[in-house]
């Protein structure tokens, strides 16, 4: 659900609003006296504080994952660009083959960042795995034929290219755990119920009962958008890979 931030925002807004109405209905059935209200205010304040802390920690976690995806995109572009230059140390025929494969590989990695459809993404992943095998084979043959420090440098660079893709994939897989989302929603629902239960007048009802669900839902929308690599509006733009692709001869 968090892969679709806008529907997630609407669903959370509706759920929290309904929770506020439940609290309001509960207040009508069983109103609090002044002594109970003082104790309830302490519990309500603690709950709202806990909700704010969890939302803050979740936002920090999502932002950290986003920064990690950007850093790995930059590292991947650097690894490919460095290996393209090192491939020139190979014999002429092998150098041309490896550099052509790296150019194709760069374009394929750009598609990985820009594609959001499931079927297209699966095809890109399959093509990437196949091209990685071809890249390693293209380097393996001349390195085995000439086991020199220079050839070792070329093989090491290709290893960095392949590893950088794995690091990128892992960064895109690691997301805010479902348990954390569930905890945030449960606490937000409890807070909405408490707001409805603590409401005294219809005037307060009109403002407070809609304010908390809206503010919390917007916060969850932002967290879900940043945390989702392909959904929503905030994405990692492969500007380093695009710049590298434009600098390589096609």
Tokens representing 147? 């086991």
What is the spatial distance between Cα 115 and Cα 109, in angstroms, rounded to a whole number? 10
- Which pLDDT band holds residue 200 (cuts at 50, 70, 90)? low
Q: According to the model, what pLDDT value does residue 149 have? A: 87
Could you tell me if 138 and 97 are in contact, meaning their C-beta atoms sit under 8 angstroms apart?
Answer: yes
pTM metric for this prediction? 0.82
58-110 residue pLDDT tens: 999 999 999 999 999 999 999 999 999 999 888 888 999 999 999 999 999 99
Q: According to the model, what pLDDT value does residue 208 have? A: 67
Q: According to the model, what pLDDT value does residue 203 have? A: 52
Q: According to the model, what pLDDT value does residue 106 have? A: 95
Q: According to the model, what pLDDT value does residue 39 have? A: 79
11-35 residue pLDDT tens: 999 999 999 888 888 888 877 777 7
What percent of the chain lies above the pLDDT cut of 70? 96
Q: According to the model, what pLDDT value does residue 107 have? A: 94
- Which pLDDT band holds residue 202 (cuts at 50, 70, 90)? low
Q: According to the model, what pLDDT value does residue 124 have? A: 92
Q: According to the model, what pLDDT value does residue 29 have? A: 81
The full set of domain ranges for the chain reads 5-247
- The phi and psi torsions of 200 (rounded to 5 degrees) equal -105, -40
- Which pLDDT band holds residue 207 (cuts at 50, 70, 90)? low
Q: According to the model, what pLDDT value does residue 18 have? A: 92
């Amino acid at each position: 659900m968090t892969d679709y931030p806008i529907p997630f925002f609407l669903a959370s807004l509706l759920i929290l609003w309904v929770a506020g109405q439940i609290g309001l209905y509960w207040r009508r059935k069983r109103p609090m006296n002044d002594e109970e209200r003082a104790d309830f205010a302490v519990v309500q304040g603690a709950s709202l504080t806990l909700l704010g802390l969890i939302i803050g920690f979740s936002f920090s976690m999502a932002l950290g994952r986003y920064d990690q995806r950007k850093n790995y995109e930059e590292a991947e572009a650097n690894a490919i660009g460095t290996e393209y230059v090192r491939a020139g140390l190979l014999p002429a025929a092998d150098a041309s083959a490896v550099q052509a494969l790296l150019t194709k590989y760069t374009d394929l990695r750009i598609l990985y960042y820009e594609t959001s459809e499931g079927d297209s993404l699966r095809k890109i992943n399959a093509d990437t795995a196949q091209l990685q095998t071809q890249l390693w084979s293209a380097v393996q043959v001349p390195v085995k034929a000439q086991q020199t420090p220079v050839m070792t440098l070329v093989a090491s660079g290709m290893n960095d290219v392949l590893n950088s893709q794995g690091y990128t994939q892992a960064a895109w897989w690691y997301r805010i755990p479902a348990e954390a989302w569930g905890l945030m929603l449960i606490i937000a629902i409890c807070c909405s119920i408490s707001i409805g239960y603590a409401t005294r007048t219809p005037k307060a009802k009109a403002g407070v009962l809609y304010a908390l669900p809206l503010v919390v839902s917007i916060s969850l929308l932002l967290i879900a958008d940043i945390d989702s690599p392909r959904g929503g509006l905030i994405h990692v733009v492969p500007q380093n890979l695009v710049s590298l692709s434009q600098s390589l001869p096609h």
